Amino acid sequence: MPRRQGYAPLIAPVAGTAALAAAVAFAGSLLFSGPGTPPEQISAPDPRSVARTPAAPAHSTGLWAATWAAAPVSGVADSHDGSTLHQRTVRNIVHTSIGGDAARITLSNVFGTRPLLVDRATVSSRPVTFRGAGRVTVAAGGQVVSDPVAVRVAADSDLVVTLRTPTAEGPVTVHGRSHQTSYVDTAWGTRRTEDWRYLTAVDVHTLAAAGTVAVIGDSLTAGTGSTLDTNSRWPDVLADRLGGRYGVANAGIAGNRILRDGSGVRASARFERDVLDIAGVKTVVVALGINDVQRSPQETDPQRIADALRSLTRRAHARGLHVVGATLMPYEGYRTWTPARDGVRERVNGLIRAGGIFDHVIDFDAAARDPHHPARLRPAYDSGDRLHLNDAGYRLLGSLVDLTALTPQQPRSDQL
């Protein structure tokens, strides 16, 4: 896979042409049009549903589409060697899927209990503004989208988004276990972290891509078991195959469930915020359900899981989106496996394969299971815990997605 290894930002500032400057200025006015909130205090009344302005203005070419996203998972207290959150600079390292000639970022304080002040933000060292101001206060429970910044973003490259929080107090809204090294600079020095902090999306203005594929899932989508800093999650593999024609936004959360909160807000509750409101989303991929089967308290009714998956599809259809769904992977040998729970998994898979839940099905289970012991992962794909995959396993999953199913030429089935 190209350019998968290492921390190598490949972005260079772009000289602003008159056309680009006009498009950026217009997009900024569209993002924050309307009376009310002062420039430095932007709040979101419903943190689960914040409009992301998916398209560029009608009179301009191109569109806004997510090149990267991460679902906020939790709010964590943050201390290191007795320090506080004061005077911190966070360097979030994220990997792009598509490129563009301008960018904008989304900051989240959804799990915060106090306002979050960011007094400096940059994308690839280019200053970012919010309603024209160089600083912004994000209300507790809210999120904000920045003004566009004229910076050329390369596809399939590492991007540095820097945020300074001079007076912030926790909890810090994070996506933990990112499998990507980022950095936090404090008065006590620089430390590595695998948390993405405050940053939940990077959108680009693109002339080449047709939109974004949003993927919602659990640890198998988030990449648990993959190698640090190699971008080997299966949605990364999918982005490689799409070759810049569509962005890929990964809304996977390790441990996430459909029907219950736990590791992150349950998928049925976060679906609008983390998937439907993604900029430029055209297709949704759903890979969920195994944690409802195997985590305590277990869901014993396969029909409830199938109905919840079908509900996600209907909600996406209401936005005019195509939905692709995956079967549940085998996991015999993992500590929570029992024959009864595996029976629930198999019945859920039977309902998925029978149709009527998704527009198109990816059979992850059939491809990754051991042909000699179908309740187990094929050993070549097992990370070692019998549940999560290694890099080879994620390459397999990413290769299974039918690219024509992501961009269907025929109208979706009305049986749903």
**pLDDT value at position 96?**
98
Among residues of the chain, what percentage have pLDDT more than 70?
Answer: 81
**pLDDT value at position 343?**
98
- Interval 337-348: pLDDT, tens: 999 999 999 999
Q: Of 47-51, 123-127, 352-356, 397-401, which range is least confident?
A: 47-51
- Integer Cα distance of 12 and 160 in angstroms: 12
**pLDDT value at position 4?**
47
pLDDT reading at 169 higher than 80: no
The arithmetic mean of pLDDT across residues 271-297, rounded, is 98
pLDDT reading at 291 higher than 50: yes
Could you tell me the pLDDT band of residue 409, with boundaries at 50, 70 and 90? Answer: low
Would the CA dihedral through 370, 180, 73, 275 be positive or negative? Answer: negative
Residue 175 tokens, joined: 């996506």
- Interval 39-98: pLDDT, tens: 233 333 333 333 354 434 334 578 999 999 999 999 887 654 444 555 689 999 999 999
**pLDDT value at position 93?**
98
**pLDDT value at position 87?**
64
**pLDDT value at position 412?**
46
Could you tell me the pLDDT band of residue 112, with boundaries at 50, 70 and 90? Answer: very high
**pLDDT value at position 86?**
54
Residue in the structure block whose two tokens are 């396969």: 302
Number of alpha carbons in the 13 Å side-chain half-sphere of residue 62: 20
**pLDDT value at position 45?**
32
Residue 248 tokens, joined: 């890929």
The arithmetic mean of pLDDT across residues 324-338, rounded, is 98
The arithmetic mean of pLDDT across residues 252-264, rounded, is 95
**Distance, C-alpha 364 to centroid of its chain:** 20
**pLDDT value at position 188?**
81
- What are the start-end ranges of the E strands in 96-175? 102-108, 116-118, 120-123, 126-127, 136-138, 143-145, 158-165, 172-175
The arithmetic mean of pLDDT across residues 275-285, rounded, is 98
158, 202 in Cβ contact below 8 A? Answer: no
The arithmetic mean of pLDDT across residues 159-164, rounded, is 97
**pLDDT value at position 121?**
98
* Residue 175 backbone dihedrals phi, psi, to 5 degrees: -110, 105
The arithmetic mean of pLDDT across residues 128-153, rounded, is 97
- Interval 4-21: pLDDT, tens: 444 333 333 333 433 444
CA distances to 177, 269, 277, 301, 346 from 259, rounded to whole Å, are: 22, 9, 20, 12, 18
Q: Of 22-26, 59-63, 200-204, 262-266, which range is least confident?
A: 22-26
The arithmetic mean of pLDDT across residues 179-184, rounded, is 96
**pLDDT value at position 60?**
53
Q: Of 32-41, 137-146, 184-193, which range is least confident?
A: 32-41
Could you tell me the pLDDT band of residue 400, with boundaries at 50, 70 and 90? Answer: very high
**pLDDT value at position 31?**
34
**pLDDT value at position 168?**
61
**pLDDT value at position 170?**
73
Instruction: Specify the DSSP element, H or E, that contains 222.
Output: helix 219-222
Strand partners, 9: 158
**pLDDT value at position 40?**
31
